[in-house]
Amino acid sequence: MSAPSGTTENLVIGGGLAGAMVGLRLAAAGREVTLLERERTAHHKVCGEFLSREAVELLEGAGVHLLELGAEVIRTIRLASKQRLVEAALPFTALSLSRCVLDEALLARAAQAGCRVQRGARGVPGAAGPRRGFRGLRDHRSGAADVRGRCASPGPSRSLGMMVATRLEAT
C-alpha cells in the first residue's frame, strides 16, 4: 500500500457508488482527490442492481456506459404472492447490472478522471473521534497504519455511508 505524503486536498473514504462518484466529480472539477477503498477488488453484493432512469442518466453523464458493461434492459415489473402473479409495464426503461461490475467501472472512471484510488486501505478514526481526524491508513494485509493526519477544513462530514475530508494534513 502506498500512502499519500504531505497533504491531499480532498480525501474520500469508501469507494462504493457514492464515494466513487464523489471522487470522480471532484477530480473532473480539477481538484486533487484521494479515495480510500478497503476492498482490494470489487465483489458481488445483493443490492443496487436495479438502475432507475435517474441513476442511468447520472452514470451515463459521468462516462459510465452501462450497456457496454453488459447491463440488461428492464421494461416490466412482476409481483408474485402465493398463487397470484401480476405483471405491468414500467413507465420508463430501467437497467440491471451486477454491483461488482458497476463498482469496478465507477472506480476506474474516477481514476481516469484523475482521482488517486488506493485499495486495501481505509481511514482509521483518530483518538478524538471520527469528526476530528484520522490516525492513518491501515493496510489490511499487514495491519500497519502508516500515515497520521487530521482533517483541516471544515472536517469530515458523513454522507451515504462514507466520509469526505476536505483536507488531510500529515502530522
pTM confidence score:
0.71
**Domain boundaries for CATH 3.50.50.60 within the chain:** 7-45+101-170
How high is the pLDDT of residue 42?
A: 78
**66 — pLDDT class (breaks 50, 70, 90):** very high
CB 69 within 8 A of CB 45: no
Convert the pLDDT of each residue in 20-54 to its tens digit.
999 999 999 999 999 988 888 877 777 768 999 99
**Ramachandran angles phi, psi of 38, nearest 5°:** -70, -30
d(CA 158, CA 154): 12
**155 — pLDDT class (breaks 50, 70, 90):** very low
Cell 450497456 sits at which residue? 67
How high is the pLDDT of residue 117?
A: 92
d(CA 49, CA 128): 37
Q: What does the block give as the cell for 157?
A: 462530514
d(CA 157, CA 143): 26
How high is the pLDDT of residue 140?
A: 52
d(CA 15, CA 42): 10
- Give, in degrees to the nearest 5, the angle at Cα 77 between 76 and 78: 125
The CATH architecture one would assign to domain 7-45+101-170 is: 3-Layer(bba) Sandwich (3.50)
**Ramachandran angles phi, psi of 63, nearest 5°:** 90, 15
Residue 86 pLDDT greater than 90, yes or no: yes
The residue among 138, 148, 134, 122 whose CA lies nearest residue 19 is 122
